[in-house]
Amino acid sequence: MDIIIVGGGKVGSALAEELCNEHNITIIDQNENRIASLINEFDCMGIVGNCLQTSILAEANVEKANIFIAVTSSDEVNVLSCLIAKKMKARHCIARVRSPEFDKQLVFMREELGISMMVNPDYNAANEIAKVLRYPEAINIESFAKGRVDLAEIRITSGSILENIALSQLSRRLRLDVLICAVQRGDEIIIPNGNFVLHAGDKIHMTASHSALVKFFKSISAAYREKRVKSAVLIGGGRVGYHLAKQLIEMGVKIKIIEIDRKRCEELSERLKKGSIICGDGTNHDLLKEEHVYDYDAVVTLTGIDEENILLSLLAKNNGVEKVVTKVNRMTLMQLSDTLNLDSIISPKSITVSQILQYVRAKQNSQGNNITTLYRLVNDKLEAIEFVVREHKDYVDVPLKKLKIGNGILIASIVRGNELIVPKGDDCIKVNDSVVVVTTKKGFDDLKEIFA
């Protein structure tokens, strides 16, 4: 497909890196050095100029663009450039917006103005954090098949009932349809078989339905109900903090926000009907102790400085806070989760890239590619891919035990209508199934490629 990306910053460059091998990418940015760097690094075209000028868009052949993606630092520029591109015959337009004022206009923007998708990094980051806080024992949770399948990442602690258990015994012991599809042990990523034995310190990636996941957490932790997050401190009251506070209040969670800017505190007090707003420096250890921050069930660090968030998270963890979530803006810092033993790291930029890529793959799928969702996990060492089987193939209606699947690959789940199937040897893949595959290999474009 022909794709135009407006804005060559962190998100724009990450999108270019992901898409340049499969699509014709053109990047527009006003920074000449940035464009030169992107052209040298990726197989793409670059144009230096203002994306609001029709001459620049015409130079980028916007009329032939399958997808136009605007991810500059300005909401208004992103929206307006999409409107101009749509008027110049671009097929699908995506705008990144941050202002909460746009939230109420999403339907109007889509139906009346023709903007196909609007991505709010702060709102989506708040959603991801809220999801993690619903399951305190999970490090991360992703969804497939329109929410019918959850892929959860969990660390096995010493004394857990999962410690020293072989995977072949797991379903029998827990009496649940869950599948452990990948294990991270140190720096090694393993696609396990039934004889694999779990150890304390392992990070497991498992697929299950939402209800089975809840039952799983209850089964592995007698204290599950007590571990539920009932109170949380948000250090930083910016846009992510506001969206998250609203969701946590709706969940019945007692919240406290610590924000250094007095004017912002006043805004939050007006917008949020419940919760405690403290005007103060969230990096002040004396203030944190005075506000009994370490007595809360969860601490979420949301300041605008990554290093502050990381240090505050380590401080909260060392002072006994059960669940700590860290926001980082630089996607390169995601790998610190393992190095520093942090609970969960959330990157709004990374979430934005992931959502836009899912939309692009959905459009690509309509042109013959059957990938609908792809997540890269464990610092890109592991991929979880959702395929849709749209026509009869050699592997359709054949029991899985008769198919030869390549090394480092596991079929993690099959979704058939509203039914989630945890695959076993006698199960078959059928037309219209959604199939989730977990693999340590890269480059799969079609489900048939996983079969040796």
Which residues, listed in sequence order, are joined to residue 143 by a DSSP beta bridge?
150
Question: Which residue would you say has higher pLDDT here, 16 or 112?
Answer: 16
423: its two tokens = 């695959």
pTM of the predicted structure, to 2 decimals: 0.75
> What was the pLDDT predicted at 223?
44
> What pLDDT is recorded for position 7?
94
Beta bridge partners of 436: 386, 413
Summarised one tens digit per residue, pLDDT across range 193-237 is 888 999 988 889 888 887 888 788 877 765 444 467 899 999 999
DSSP secondary structure code for residue 89 in this structure: T
Q: Which CATH class is domain 351-450?
A: alpha beta
The pLDDT score that the predictor gives to residue 242 is 93
Other Cβ atoms within 10 Å of 404 Cβ, number: 8
Q: Who contacts 198 (Cβ-Cβ below 8 Å, separation ≥6)?
A: 156, 162, 163, 164, 165, 166, 167, 180, 183, 204
Query: Of 147, 297, 161, 299, nearest to 217 (Cα)?
Result: 161
**CA 417 – CA 306 distance, rounded (Å):** 42
Task: Tell me the C-alpha distance between 393 and 386, whole Å.
Answer: 17
CA distance 109 to 89: 17
Span 74-92, pLDDT tens digits: 999 999 999 999 999 999 9
In the chain, what are the domain boundaries?
Answer: 2-119, 125-226, 230-346, 351-450
Of 61-65, 98-102, 295-299, the least confident: 98-102
Per-residue pLDDT of 348-405, as tens digits, reads: 888 898 889 878 877 765 554 567 777 777 767 888 888 888 888 889 999 999 999 8
pLDDT tens column, 224-277: 444 678 999 999 999 999 999 999 999 899 999 999 999 999 999 998 988 899
CA-based torsion, 383, 389, 391, 395: positive or negative: positive
Q: How confident is the model at residue 314 (pLDDT cuts 50, 70, 90)?
A: very high
Q: What is the DSSP string of 194-215?
A: TT-B--TT-EEEEEE-HHHHHH
Token pair listed for 130: 């809220």
pLDDT digits (tens, 9 = 90+) for 412-438: 899 888 888 888 889 999 998 989 899
Question: Distance between CA atoms of 248 and 208, rounded to whole angstroms?
Answer: 24
Is 93 a residue whose pLDDT tops 60? yes
Q: Which CATH class is domain 230-346?
A: alpha beta
Closest by CA position to 374, among listed 362, 366, 392, 363: 362
Tallying the residues shown for the chain, one arrives at 452
User: What percent of the chain clears pLDDT 70, i.e. is strictly above it?
Assistant: 92
292 has pLDDT over 60? yes
- List CB contacts of 115: < 8 A, sequence separation 6 or more: 79, 82, 83, 86, 93, 94, 95, 109
Cβ contacts of residue 20 below 8 Å, gap of 6+? 42, 43, 44
Sorting pLDDT into bands at 50, 70 and 90, what band is 104? low
244 Cα distance to chain centroid: 16
pLDDT band at 103 (very low <50, low <70, confident <90, very high): low
Pick the CATH number of 125-226 from 3.10.28.10, 3.40.50.450, 3.90.1150.10, 3.30.70.1450: 3.30.70.1450
| 2-119 shares its CATH topology with 230-346 | yes
Residue with tokens 């670059």: 46
Positions of E strands within 186-308: 188-190, 203-208, 231-235, 254-259, 276-279, 298-301
Fold of 2-119: Rossmann fold (3.40.50)
pLDDT in tens, 117-175: 888 999 989 988 998 888 777 778 887 777 778 888 888 888 788 888 888 887 777 77
Contact between 373 and 415 (Cβ < 8 Å): no
